[in-house]
Amino acid sequence: MPEASQPTIFANDHGVIQRYRNYLPVTDNTPIVSLSEGSTPLIHAPRLSARVGKGCTVLVKYEGLNPTGSFKDRGMTMAMSKARENGSKAVICASTGNTSAAAAAYATRAGMDCVVLLPAGKISQGKLAQAFVYGAKVVAIDGNFDRALELVREIGEMDEFEIVNSINPYRIEGQKTASFEIIDDLGDAPHIHVLPVGNAGNITAYWKGYREYHAEGKSTRLPKMVGFQAAGSAPIFYNQVVTAPETVATAIRIGNPASWEAANEALNTSGGKIDIVTDAEILEAQGWLAANEGIFVEPASAASIAGLFKCCAKPCEGCPVNAIEPESTIVCTVTGHGLKDIDTALSARSFRTIDAKDDRSDILGKLGY
């Protein structure tokens, strides 16, 4: 089965490398590993726009509609294609979340092994469900998470292995395509771009994408980049490493971001800002977005929405959201689908059924009709 180990691109595949190959470090010799990621919807959010006011238009970039349910797929198509080009036989990472899910899916697609290295005590079947289902080899070591990362780096030095943790530079290349899509959809860059910040790879990637497209004349402006960290996990905001980061938004529970410096550059150069939101604000925003715009996202994703609410409710000095002109366009990235973490969504709030008799009038009465 030669097809099995060397998947070919079907002429109509629509992954981000096919769509934006001129902006990415690939050649005709790069074997493209894709699951048709990207081209996610930019959804107009009328109620969110109304909350911001000033005639602004708020749109949500719904990255949960990537194949494995998060934005990580954009970076993984690049990382995996380059790993294959370089002759690697396997990829390796230490991650309990969206990265391991994406790595496992794309490695399978590439006909490569995916090794996920984790501390023995930190392996939850639920969190790792996708990695398992996509066929990753999950190795439980008797060291801690830092030691797992060290071992990933050590093993990644071998020719057979490629590291796909965030230190892999190709991931940011892939992720920057989200900015291209936004400009292609809007016809220009937004005035403000709001996103959750954990490892800070995404804010770095978006800013890179915006600058590259701007340099090509594809947009007339650059957006102000506005990032939100979870209050218990906010090293960039506090400007110091957080040794024991804690937040319900597990996807941004990072104490020492890999792209810290690049994120600061994006924030400063764009005239943006970084701020924090509490877990309560994150969960409130998650529920609000689902129940008001029909968009269900994982908790980390809701940090961008919670942040926008915070800026509008009580603008701080120099807040770019407060300072924007009327009729401005604001894009919020929501990074992962709510289906990624149903348990948190359910446990965060109490849902009640309306109990009724087997009777039309009783039902209508209880519904208030």
CB of 11 to a copy of itself, least distance (A): 9
CB of 297 to a copy of itself, least distance (A): 10
Q: What is the H or E stretch that residue 156 is in?
A: helix 145-156
**Within 160-199, which residues bind a copy of itself (CB under 8 A)?**
160, 185-186
- With respect to a copy of itself, which residue has the nearer C-beta, 244 or 367? 367
Helix (H, G, I), strand (E, B) or coil at 307: helix
- With respect to a copy of itself, which residue has the nearer C-beta, 243 or 353? 353
Q: What is the H or E stretch that residue 100 is in?
A: helix 98-110
Unique residue bearing structure tokens 């609410």: 309
CB of 235 to a copy of itself, least distance (A): 26
Does the footprint of a copy of itself cover residue 14 (CB under 8 A)? yes
- With respect to a copy of itself, which residue has the nearer C-beta, 55 or 241? 55
Measured CA distances, 226 to 110, 116, 290, 311 (Å)? 35, 32, 22, 10
Of the candidate residues 19, 23, 26, 49, the single one contacting a copy of itself (CB under 8 A): 49
**Within 130-149, which residues bind a copy of itself (CB under 8 A)?**
130, 132-135, 137-143, 147
- Interface pattern 79-118 for a copy of itself (x via CB under 8 A): ----------xx-------------xxx-xx---x-x-x-
Of the candidate residues 28, 29, 87, 351, the single one contacting a copy of itself (CB under 8 A): 351
Q: Which stretch binds a copy of itself (CB under 8 A): 129-137, 193-201, 228-236, 246-254?
A: 129-137
d(CA 275, CA 230): 9
Does the footprint of a copy of itself cover residue 1 (CB under 8 A)? yes
d(CA 240, CA 234): 8
Unique residue bearing structure tokens 């009328």: 46
Helix (H, G, I), strand (E, B) or coil at 230: strand
Contacting residues for 248 by C-beta, under 8 A, at least 6 apart? 230, 279, 282, 283, 299, 344, 348
Does the footprint of a copy of itself cover residue 280 (CB under 8 A)? no
Residue type, 11: A
